[in-house]
Amino acid sequence: MLAQFNQGPQSCNDGCDELWSPDKQEQRFCWGCKKWYNLKCLGNPTYSQEEYLGKQMEKHPSVPETILKVAFQPTARGGSTHFVTGNIRLVSEARDLLDERGQERAFAHPWMIAFVLEHDGTEEEDDEWQAWLEHKYHIDNKSRGNIMEEQLLIQEQQMYICPLCQDDNCL
C-alpha cells in the first residue's frame, strides 16, 4: 500500500517559509507524521545509513537484507541525488515486505513464481528480492546508476530525526 502523504508546493514546517524547489532541494519524508521536510530544515544528521541499517537488522532479524536496505534507506525526493519523484514507491513497497504477509503476497505473484522456478533455488534470497523489486518498478541495467532514473537503493546517506514527531524511525 503506497503511503499517503502531503505533496505539492508547500513549506516543510512552521519555521520554514521556503517552497520546495525539486531540481535544487532534497526533501525527506517522515513515516511518523507523513510530512516532507527540506533537508536543510532537519539540522544535523543523527545516524549514518549504515548505523541505522544495523539497528533495523537487530529489530527485524528474519527479514532479508535487501528488503531492509530498501525499506530503511531515507525516503527522499528532489535535489541532485533523488530525482524529482524520489523513492517513496520503492521504500513503501519494501516496508510492506517487512511483514511476512507482504512477502507471501509477493511470492504468490506469477513473476516471482516463474523466477523461483527458473532459478531452481540457486539464487540467494536477497537476489530474489532485488530481482522482484527491480521487476516491479522497471529498473533495468540501463537505469541502474542513472541519476535521472529511479534507483532501488542509494547508499551512504545521512539519517535525521523528524523535527515534529521526534521519531527516529523515519528520516
Q: What is the pLDDT of residue 73?
A: 93
Residue 10 lies in a domain: no
Beta bridge partner(s), residue 159 = 47
**Interatomic CA distance for residues 48 and 33, integer angstroms:** 22
State the cell numbers at 122.
540457486
Averaged pLDDT in 10-residue chunks for the chain of 171 residues: 50 72 87 86 87 92 92 90 84 92 90 85 78 88 75 87 73 60
| Backbone dihedral region for residue 26 (phi beyond 0: left; psi -120 to 50: alpha; all else: beta) | beta
Q: What is the pLDDT of residue 92?
A: 93
Residue 20 lies in a domain: no
Residue 11 lies in a domain: no
Contact 150, 93 (CB under 8 A): no
Residue 85 lies in a domain: yes
Q: What is the pLDDT of residue 150?
A: 78
Phi and psi at residue 42, in whole multiples of 5°?
Answer: -90, -10
Residue 113 lies in a domain: yes
Q: Kindly write down the DSSP assignment for every residue of 33-47, as one continuous string.
A: TTEEEEGGGG-S--E
- Record the pTM: 0.83
Phi and psi at residue 101, in whole multiples of 5°?
Answer: -65, -35
Residue 14 lies in a domain: no
**Alpha carbon of residue 80 to chain centroid:** 17
The domain tally of the chain equals: 1
Residue 140 lies in a domain: yes
Q: What is the pLDDT of residue 94?
A: 94
Range of the domain at 95: 26-159
Q: What is the pLDDT of residue 2?
A: 52
Residue 112 lies in a domain: yes
